[in-house]
Amino acid sequence: MESKRCKEFSKVKHWRMRRRRTAHSDGRRSVRMKVRRLQRLIPGGEGMQADRLFLRTADYIVHLQLQVHILQTLSKVYQPSL
């Protein structure tokens, strides 16, 4: 009886470890895919290392926000008065 329990426990333990490894590798794969997608979105990001890519992304976001602000201001200036 004790031997049967040990075998069952061993099977469960093996299954859990296998599941963890798979989930871990899937998580890494998911992160790599997201980094590749970000590299394609950011100008000059192709082939860039992740740490530099994140810094470039932050700069690009600030740049885009500034452009939006400037365009909004210009549209207010040139808006026809009624």
Tens digit of pLDDT for each residue in 31-65?
A: 999 999 999 999 999 999 999 999 999 999 999 99
pLDDT of residue 4: 64
Q: Check: pTM over 0.95? Answer yes or no.
A: no
pLDDT of the residue at 57? 97
- What is d(CA 76, CA 70) in angstroms, rounded to the nearest whole number? 10
Closest CA to 53 of 63, 62, 42: 42
Residue 38 vs residues 27, 28, 44, 73, 76: alpha-carbon distances, Å: 17, 15, 11, 29, 33
Average pLDDT, the chain: 85
Q: Give the amino acid at 41.
A: L
